[in-house]
A and B are shown apart, each in its own frame.
Chain A
Amino acid sequence: MSYAKRILHVDLATGKTEIEPLKDEMAKKYIGGIGLGIRLLLDNSKPGTDPFNPANPLIFITGPLSGTMAPTAGNSYAVVSKSPESGGVGEAKAHGFFGAEIKRAGYDAFIFKGKAEKPVYVWVDDDSVQLMDAKPLLGKSPEETEATIREELGDHYIRVAAIGPAGEKLVRIACIINDSTRAAGRTGLGAVMGSKNLKAVAVRGTKDVTVAKLDEFREFVKMLHERMKGPATRKYRTLGTPENVLVLNSLGVLPTRNFTNATFEGAEKVSGEYLNERFVAKIIGCSSCAMRCEHIAVVPEGPYKGTTTRMEYETLWALGINCGIDRLDAIIKAMGACNYYGMDGISAGVIVGFAMDCYEHGILTKKDTDGLDLRFGNHEALLETLKKMGTREGFGDILAEGAKRAAEKIGKGAEKYANHIKGVEMTGYDIRGLKTAALGYAVSFRGADHNRHGAYAPDVKGSVNRFKAEKGRGKLVREIEDLYTIIDSLIVCKFTRGVYYDTYKDLAQYYTLATGIEITPEELQVTGERINNLARLFNVREGLSRKDDHMPAKVMNTPIPDEGVSKGSYVSQKELDLLLDDYYEVRGWTKDGIPTIEKTNGVGLNDLVYIVKPKIEKPKK
């Protein structure tokens, strides 16, 4: 079976390790990836723990298919911890090669606790686990760290996940990067790693990974390979996600200059079409994948000549369009800088866009910005600011706290320009004109995000009226959320979500063929619901509730000004309330967004009723 059935605990303060067996019932109940990860987070932490407290566990966790030749799911891992941005669930997934190596070393998960006295990296060589001196690695980028460790340990096939200078300096949007270009990007987990003095995790696994039903599994994978060559993945194999630029622009929902506009006059110049024509040198693939999607862009000429990095829509949007920048060479350079410092490129771009907006409105002046002319469109200022953020130098120290905290520090009404939900920066959909997505963003348990719910799909496809907030959207969001949660627990790449034609049926069969654990499509669907409730329960335990299911101020106060179909659209408080009421109702939660005792029991989380009981029984004023 494809679980290793072992969880490795590492105490970074003492170097002591311990193996905890993973029981079948636990595995089936939470699957793996973020599902099992959030359960382990909840069980291994006390309420109210500061994310940077050594007691906050940092969890690296594989999925049940990791280490097999399951396309995309074979190579993945997830990172779970309490987020230093939101104070709630922090989770991010990454593909590449690293995840499979964890499984081959004989583990389903690593749980790092405590703080190392000096900077270390953890070297997991099958059964041997050592803390290694990381002092020579300090200040290095994740890519340099990987190369140095491989050199030091003398094996090219060692896989490494590392933080860059940003993680070392506890920049709250720091990410963890594996295999040079792949990031567990969102919710600031690199900063948690930095707070533990943990620079990197290096793994070599040489053990066999097997599946329960080998021949059938092989046939199933073959079928997926065929489907992956078809229309379901066309976008990702051709132009890639940057195809979104012109699509969203034409719909009037391309957030521009920190959500000042929703169309961008420079869209053609930063489009997926232009990127592919001029910059993409090769499209490469992750381990075990049957499509390839990773568009590697190289700047061919000019001041940023030679910069080489992966490009996707979200970071292109954040570092480009959201900052009013219409030069792809500069955007690629900015992406390269984010990878170098080890920062989430989405959040980084949104923070710089926020600072630019403040500058344009006189809230920040050259006195505050170390002399930088932070006007929208100034790509040199963008690059300087990224460097300052990544190293917490000068003015960057404030921005390194994330948009929400930076706005609080700056004051003078800067909050109006900070585009975040639960402290996590927005992503590239203007939800003023996508109201199903707006609900998905508001209730996402990891803060502002499009990948927790994919609720932009019905809006963009036109299967609902995207300008209208109405009952029924709660059900839509809930259904996609439950499926996405299963996808993230199996850690299947969302680019391939379309190849599971029969969704839960296909995924349940896949799971059973690999693990030998029988699960029905219905059970899997309930598991998705369970994990969503579990994540909500963690957030409730940490003090989050309805008040945190909010929208950025601009989304609620500034109607889209651009001429076109979306003109005038925004989300009013009344609409948000309607959407939240509808969603909580279909979720079986209270008006305050707390899972009821019945719901908590109903999804099999009986042992967690203690979290909701005091919140529900408290008399309302």
Chain B
Amino acid sequence: MAAKPARKPVRKFVSADPEKCVGCAVCEYICSLEKEKVFNPTKSRIRVVRLHPLINLSVTCRLCEEAPCVAACPRDALEQSNETGVIMIDEEKCNGCGWCIEACDYGAMTLHPETRVVFTCDLCEGEPKCVEWCPEEALDFTTKDLLAQKARVAVVKKLFQEAMKTVPG
């Protein structure tokens, strides 16, 4: 039997549920603690945006396909891991020019306040601390497929609200 073409690795990333996120910034604190051994949101790989008491969301790297940050780097300092999709930064090559920051639509690339090179979420070697610590369980370590599935289940539950009440269990 002919071998199947290699399946593209499943890329998991950190996603915040806008319904659940309350803007508490615990994710920022645990991130800067995990990565830099200090408490400092400006060194966090995930940032909270509160536009209004009712509008809160944590934002971090989405592991885009064909990541624009990588394409934008004129010094080839960024590379996307084939396996995990994580953006890897060569700190020797990066000179803090900020093209990648401009290229990212989500503000996930940040200039480090001290080293002046960029940094972004590296998924804590597959066990993101922000997800573990999020008190609202608003953060998910998930894939885009799973997010779509979740949305589908949610919408069907909503459409069948009455029927759901009679479903046993």
Contacts and interface: CB of A to CB of B under 8 A. Distances in A.
A290 B134 CA distance: 8
A311 to B, nearest CB: 11
A74 interface: yes
A308 B54 contact: yes
A74 B24 contact: no
A214 B36 CA distance: 12
Contacts of B23: 284-285
Nearest to B51: A156
Contact of B29 (A281, A288, A292): A288
Interface stretch (B38-46, B66-74, B80-88, B145-153): B38-46
Interface string B4-29: 00000000000000000011111001
B38 A208 contact: yes
Interface in A259-318: 281-292, 294, 296, 298, 308, 310
A284 B22 contact: yes
B39 A210 contact: yes
A197 interface: no
A218 interface: yes
> Range of interface residues on chain B?
20 to 34
Contacts of A53: none
Contacts of A181: 53
B24 A69 contact: no
A225 interface: yes
Given A181-B53, A282-B53, A292 B33 contact: no
Nearest to B134: A290
Contacts of A327: none
A298 B52 CA distance: 13
A228 interface: yes
Which of A157, A286, A287, A298 is most buried by chain B, counting CB atoms within 10 A of its CB?
A287
B53 A310 contact: yes
Nearest to A292: B22
Interface string B99-120: 0000000000000010000000
Interface in A64-90: 67-69, 71, 74
Interface in A302-353: 308, 310
A223 B49 CA distance: 27
Given A206-B113, A310-B53, A292 B136 contact: yes
B53 A284 contact: yes
> Range of interface residues on chain A?
35 or more
A287 B22 CA distance: 9
B29 A228 contact: no
Contact of B42 (A68, A206, A210, A283): A206
B55 to A, nearest CB: 9
Given A206-B113, A285-B22, A296 B54 contact: yes
A225 B133 contact: yes
Given A228-B135, A310-B53, A210 B38 contact: yes
B30 interface: yes
A288 B25 contact: yes
Nearest to B55: A282
A209 B42 CA distance: 11
A235 interface: no
Interface string A102-115: 00100000000000
A208 B49 CA distance: 20
B38 A288 contact: no
A409 interface: no
A512 interface: no
A361 interface: no
A288 B26 contact: yes
A68 B40 contact: no
Contact of B39 (A69, A156, A284, A285): A69
Interface string A153-195: 0001100000000000000000000001100000000000000
A213 interface: no
B58 interface: no
A206 B40 contact: yes
B56 interface: yes
A284 B54 CA distance: 8
Given A206-B42, A209-B40, A214-B37, A286 B54 contact: no
B26 A229 contact: no
Interface in B56-98: 56
Given A69-B29, A206-B113, A218-B33, A289 B24 contact: yes
A494 interface: no
A340 B38 CA distance: 37
Nearest to A282: B54
Interface string A530-565: 000000000000000000000000000000000000
Contacts of B42: 206
Contacts of B133: 222, 225
B53 A180 contact: yes
A285 B24 contact: yes
Interface string A19-50: 00000000000000000000000000000000
Which of B22, B33, B36, B133 is most buried by chain A, counting CB atoms within 10 A of its CB?
B22
A283 B135 CA distance: 13
B26 A290 contact: yes
A289 B28 CA distance: 12
A310 B160 CA distance: 33
Interface of B: 22-26, 29-30, 33, 36-43, 49, 52-54, 56, 113, 133, 135-136
Given A228-B135, A285-B22, 19 more contacts: A157-B41, A208-B36, A208-B43, A209-B39, A209-B40, A210-B37, A210-B39, A211-B39, A225-B133, A281-B54, A282-B53, A284-B22, A284-B53, A285-B23, A285-B135, A290-B135, A291-B135, A292-B136, A298-B54
26 contacts: A68-B39, A69-B26, A69-B30, A74-B29, A180-B53, A206-B113, A208-B36, A208-B39, A209-B38, A210-B37, A210-B38, A210-B39, A214-B37, A218-B33, A225-B133, A228-B135, A282-B22, A284-B23, A284-B54, A285-B22, A285-B24, A286-B24, A287-B25, A288-B26, A296-B54, A308-B52
**What are the nearest 9 A-B pairs in CB distance?**
A69-B29, A285-B24, A208-B38, A290-B135, A285-B22, A209-B39, A284-B22, A292-B22, A287-B25
